[in-house]
Structure formats: C-alpha cells, structure tokens
Amino acid sequence: MKRYETIYIINPTLDADSLGEVVTKFSDLIKRLKGYIVKVNEWGKRKLAYEVKRFDKGYYIVLDFCGLPEIVKELERNLKLDDRILKYSTVKIDEDVDPEDLTGKEQEKEDKIEDSTNESIEEE
C-alpha cells in the first residue's frame, strides 16, 4: 500500500454540523474502498493566499491515509463533485507502507506531544 496526504479546503460559511458531515463523508469513502486512515487533522478556518470561488477564507482539513492508487482517483473525483469543497491537493508520501505500523507510530507521537504539554503546564 502507498501512503498519501490530501489537503482540502471547505467552504467557510458552513456550520459545525455540515463541516463534520463533509469530513466524515470523505473519511468513510476511504474506509469503504479498503483504505486505512492514519490521521485526520483539522487546521480550522484560515485566510487563503488568493480568492477561490469568491472566498478569501477556508476551512482546512488534512487527511493522511494508506491505500491503492484507485482510492486517490475516487477520492479526488468525489472532492471535485462536492460543491462545498473549494480546493484540494493529494501527494504521495511513501511508496510501500504497513498501515498497522503507521497508526501505532501516530498514536505514540500524539502521546509524546500530550505528555510534553502536560509537563510544561505543571512546571508553570
């Protein structure tokens, strides 16, 4: 399996329920096509470098996943068809990966970050 990262920008005028629905829609698509989601990172609302579809802000989502190239084609096809998506981009991160190892490594990273955050708060 290959590892990919897709960044997509959602219409910033959507409410929280609609945002959650969009994120879930594309995550479920990957799972349904037998892909593995490593991490979904919501960056939140940010200013765009230039106007896209008359919007100067957008809600950024980073989707880190493993799968076959067919998954990327189907994901991008669905992103293109969804009117709530302003822009998207997919890059291949790694050629040959084991999804179980990746999810374990990501969990370890998050635990380390959380531990260091808690230690710095306790020191203050």
Q: Domain extents for the chain?
A: 2-97
Give residue 97's pLDDT: 76
What is the model's pTM? 0.78
Closest by Cα among 12, 90, 6, 73 to 40: 6
Instruction: Indicate whether 114 pLDDT > 70.
Output: no
Per-residue pLDDT tens digits for 16-35: 999 999 999 999 999 999 99
Q: Which top CATH class is 2-97?
A: alpha beta
- Tokens at residue 96, please? 């040959």
Instruction: Indicate whether 124 pLDDT > 60.
Output: no
**Contact between 52 and 4 (Cβ < 8 Å):** no
Amino acid at 40: V
Closest by Cα among 27, 10, 28 to 19: 10
Give residue 78's pLDDT: 95
Angle at 7 between CA 95 and CA 109, to 5 degrees: 65
If you write DSSP's letter for every residue of the chain in order, what string do you get? -EEEEEEEEE-TTS-HHHHHHHHHHHHHHHHHTT-EEEEEEEEEEEEEEEEETTEEEEEEEEEEEEE-HHHHHHHHHHHHH-TTEEEEEEEEEESS--HHHHHHHHHHHHHHHHHHHHHHHHH-
Instruction: Indicate whether 93 pLDDT > 70.
Output: yes
